[in-house]
Amino acid sequence: MKFLNKLADLTPLQDEVFNMQQEVNQAINKFGKESVYNGTIGTLFDEDGNFVTLKSVYEIYDNLLDSQKAKYAALIEGNPTYLDAIKKWILNEVDFKLANKAIATIGGTGAISLSVSTCLDKGDTLIIPSLSWNNYKLIASRHGLELKNYQLFDNDNFNLNSFKEVCKEVLVKNKKVAVIINDPLHNPTGYSMSLEEWKEVINIINDLSKLGEIILINDIAYIDYTKKPLKSREYLTLFNNLNENALLVIAFSCSKTLTAYGLRLGAALIANQNQKLIDDLYLELTKHARSTWSNVPFGAMELFTKVTSSDYLENYLKEKQTFIDLLEKRGHTFKKECKNYLIPLYPHTGGFFITIKVSNEKKELIHQKLKENNIFLLKVNDGIRVGLCGLNIKKCKELPTLINKVLQENNLKFE
Amino acid sequence: MKFLNKLADLTPLQDEVFNMQQEVNQAINKFGKESVYNGTIGTLFDEDGNFVTLKSVYEIYDNLLDSQKAKYAALIEGNPTYLDAIKKWILNEVDFKLANKAIATIGGTGAISLSVSTCLDKGDTLIIPSLSWNNYKLIASRHGLELKNYQLFDNDNFNLNSFKEVCKEVLVKNKKVAVIINDPLHNPTGYSMSLEEWKEVINIINDLSKLGEIILINDIAYIDYTKKPLKSREYLTLFNNLNENALLVIAFSCSKTLTAYGLRLGAALIANQNQKLIDDLYLELTKHARSTWSNVPFGAMELFTKVTSSDYLENYLKEKQTFIDLLEKRGHTFKKECKNYLIPLYPHTGGFFITIKVSNEKKELIHQKLKENNIFLLKVNDGIRVGLCGLNIKKCKELPTLINKVLQENNLKFE
């Protein structure tokens, strides 16, 4: 194809969240806000349907000096104060023993794409969960990577066996693999792995690392909406046991943590037993950042540093907790009603999303029929995602009844 | 190398602007601001040494709603209002006839890296001017590209012959080439090509395009600091004559235009005779953006749209013009003094920078000796860049005398 490189395939951008917004808006204009159930979005709305911007965050941002918004980052890697704050924030009270460094990125997407760009060659394999954020697939294809899935669930537990088998298969063939675990509060299900499951994952990785290099990308975009964000970091201590042939990349995003999706700030924390490996990798990550986006927003870095500093932290945590509690109520309400109608759900522990189990054969039709009834949800692999973050408690209560009605009227089943 | 892909070479990041800041700060702490000549930086400072943030810009930014800063972009491509504003801003009164589309990017770096990532394969060649922004080289190496230079100058004119020969050589071999022209107000010299030179460049490209595909990347990061920003866009009409085998990418940055370096906003405007080609390319650019940084800062896009709207434009242009005039005075002052000491300069028409002609053999030593005398400048190929943007008129007047003194004392010559 003229002017395009070999990665070009001209397949349309499958980005339902962004694309469906137009359909939703049309429905709202026609039928009114109250009659439209918009479960497509991935940002937080309050009970009155207002987009949430945490006051404890934006009071600080609005009071930064203009020069703090205007300046280039102090370093390509990020402002040193931000990098300190990020490490403290992610690791918190965890007794983390691996050699590690953090680099500022453009959002959580940037943390993942930067590590993939720096570690993987065309033809390498990226393994992702069978249910996952759509963009992982695009990241793989835009890097010319092979894509493989591990089955996320074995009944209602993390599928350790599938994780092991798929990683092993690739390692035997390629001697190198990158694998993404999106936990806690997995998107789209809201599942969080148990400490036991994480222990087993690390055992598997250590065992398999005799076969080759394993890059474990732990996407923690939703970690700060776990019921107890501090306790939810406990599993990070388990990484101390990772052996030298396994590289850990923790991909962090400020988007949800600060309700600052549009400020485009994130970080990648890389960790390994070997300091020299980390130093080398860090240099290459830095060069790749410089050649891709040059540096990240100064003001957003200052914001994060300040919000998480001792003067402001308590106020922020308190405000954020009200929304964690709210999301819990929404999830609880939705799940309770689903039980009444035997609507099958994937395991869910909290957070922005929950996912209905729907076979891929039935998915298109059900999704379409729901849309015709002003219920806008997101198709995922073997499921339909419900964005609790965008639906108030009233709608969370009504939605299962309405979904059930649509299925009954159209003589449809989920499986 | 463990965990790293084949692009890794562990060469240190050659980023003098960011790296030298520390040395400058040490000197300022030791000798005081007045005694230190910091000509390394690439951002605008006023006569009192204060970092410039245009009031007409930040008054608007500070009054955006929090939700406008917090939201994800309306589309991966950018907010539609921003894309309209950008096209209007770049093309202005130009009667531009090529099919074209604009995509929002993370800064000007993002505009260049995005187009390179989408158009070029590993092993393809990127041609850049012999004197250029350092980051072009890193962009090439991080994409596994061959790098070639055209000689920028033939005496004090754009070197049409070298441009032609280098492009031709690559096209004969590869049937495809990308070439960067950083104009107007080329970094590091401050040179702007004449209309006649641009006419010839386009003739050359059309002529060579019979040999293969040519991607012309026109980096216009400094266009809004030309003496007459509107008039400086006249050359864009000449692109109407580009034939279908030539793709135009205009890489725009808001960094200097808005004194908003840290907001990380830019755009790539792609143009060609063929609408279908543009549509296909646009899709691939969009997918690459989604997989790299997902989307760009909402607030910054709203800011640009508002600043350049009819209600605010005049106020902004007026304020910016005072700094264009100031830079002209600084350049004039510096050049006049250089003449007295026969300090050889590359041709310069205005803007943030000016460059002293220094042979690569002499460069290291001269640069070192200047540093020892608290004169911090930036090494470039066959030259040393002076950042007029960071030096007040007084220092612009004093600097040539001091440089001359250092050379005399050390018995050094520029060539």
Contact (Cβ atoms closer than 8 angstroms) between residue A74 and residue B265: no
Distance separating alpha carbons of residues A383 and A367, to the nearest angstrom: 10
In the numeric block, the tokens 């973050």 are attached to A389
Please identify, in words, the CATH class of the domain defined by A57-307.
Answer: alpha beta
At residue A15, does pLDDT exceed 90? no
Searching chain B, which residue's CA lies closest to the CA of residue A138?
B291
Contact check, Cβ <8 Å, A139/B18? no
H or E element: which one contains B154?
strand B153-154
pLDDT digit string (tens) for chain B, length 415 residues: 899 999 999 988 876 776 788 899 999 999 999 999 999 999 999 999 999 999 999 999 999 999 999 999 999 999 999 999 999 999 999 999 999 999 999 999 999 999 999 999 999 999 999 999 999 999 999 999 999 999 999 999 999 999 999 999 999 999 999 999 999 999 999 999 999 999 999 999 999 999 999 999 999 999 999 999 888 999 999 999 999 999 999 999 999 999 999 999 999 999 999 999 999 999 999 999 999 999 999 999 999 999 999 999 999 999 999 999 999 999 999 999 999 999 999 999 999 999 999 999 999 999 999 999 999 999 999 999 999 999 999 999 999 999 999 999 999 999 8
DSSP reduced 3-state for B229: coil
Closest by CA to B205, choosing from B190, B222, B189, B217, is: B217
Q: Around B147, how many Cα atoms within 13 Å sit in the side-chain half-sphere?
A: 15
Distance separating alpha carbons of residues A236 and A247, to the nearest angstrom: 14
Q: Distance, in angstroms, between A192 CA and closest chain B CA?
A: 25
Distance separating alpha carbons of residues B34 and A337, to the nearest angstrom: 72
Task: Tell the burial category of B266 from Cβ atoms under 10 Å away from its Cβ (0-12, 13-18, 19+).
Answer: buried
Q: Which residues of B touch A259 (CB under 8 A)?
A: 70
Strands A213-219 vs A176-182: parallel, antiparallel or unpaired: parallel
pLDDT of residue A50: 96
Please count the other Cβ atoms lying within 10 Å of the Cβ belonging to residue A105.
29
Q: Distance, in angstroms, between B4 CA and closest chain A CA?
A: 4
Contact check, Cβ <8 Å, B3/A288? no
DSSP reduced 3-state for B294: coil
H or E element: which one contains A396?
helix A393-409
Contact (Cβ atoms closer than 8 angstroms) between residue B68 and residue B299: yes
pLDDT of residue B15: 67
CATH (residue range B72-307): 3.40.640.10
Dump pLDDT digits (tens) for A148-183.
999 999 999 999 999 999 999 999 999 999 999 999
Contact (Cβ atoms closer than 8 angstroms) between residue B295 and residue A139: no
In A, residues 231-250, which contact B (CB 8 Å cutoff)?
A: 247
DSSP reduced 3-state for A400: helix
pLDDT of residue B13: 86
At residue A144, does pLDDT exceed 70? yes
How is chain B split into domains, by residue range?
16-55+314-409, 72-307
At residue A16, does pLDDT exceed 80? no
Say which CATH topology domain B16-55+314-409 has. Answer: Aspartate Aminotransferase, domain 1 (3.90.1150)
Please count the other Cβ atoms lying within 10 Å of the Cβ belonging to residue B174.
16
Averaged pLDDT score across all residues of chain A: 96
Distance separating alpha carbons of residues B284 and B380, to the nearest angstrom: 34
Dump pLDDT digits (tens) for A102-136.
999 999 999 999 999 999 999 999 999 999 999 99
Is the Cβ of B70 closer than 8 Å to some Cβ of chain A? yes
Searching chain A, which residue's CA lies closest to the CA of residue B68?
A262
pLDDT of residue A108: 98
Task: Tell the burial category of A11 from Cβ atoms under 10 Å away from its Cβ (0-12, 13-18, 19+).
Answer: exposed
Cβ contacts of residue A59 below 8 Å, gap of 6+? none
Distance separating alpha carbons of residues B178 and B249, to the nearest angstrom: 10
pLDDT of residue A362: 95
Searching chain B, which residue's CA lies closest to the CA of residue A274?
B2
Contact check, Cβ <8 Å, A287/B261? no
Contact check, Cβ <8 Å, A8/B118? yes
Contact check, Cβ <8 Å, B3/A287? no
Q: Distance, in angstroms, between B332 CA and closest chain A CA?
A: 27
In the numeric block, the tokens 């994480």 are attached to A198
Predicted complex ipTM: 0.96
The phi, psi pair for A306, rounded to 5°, reads -75, -45
Closest by CA to B159, choosing from B134, B137, B186, B140, is: B186
- What would the two tokens of residue A115 be? 């590590």
Q: B132: alpha, beta or left, given left = phi > 0 and alpha = psi -120 to 50?
A: beta
Is the Cβ of B31 closer than 8 Å to some Cβ of chain A? no
Please state the rounded mean pLDDT for residues A75-98.
97
Distance separating alpha carbons of residues A50 and B266, to the nearest angstrom: 30
DSSP assignment of A292-348 equals: HTSS--HHHHHHHHHHTSTTTHHHHHHHHHHHHHHHHHHHHHHHHHHHHTT--B---
Q: Distance, in angstroms, between B16 CA and closest chain A CA?
A: 11
* Of residues A76, A120, A293, nearest to B13 (C-beta): A76
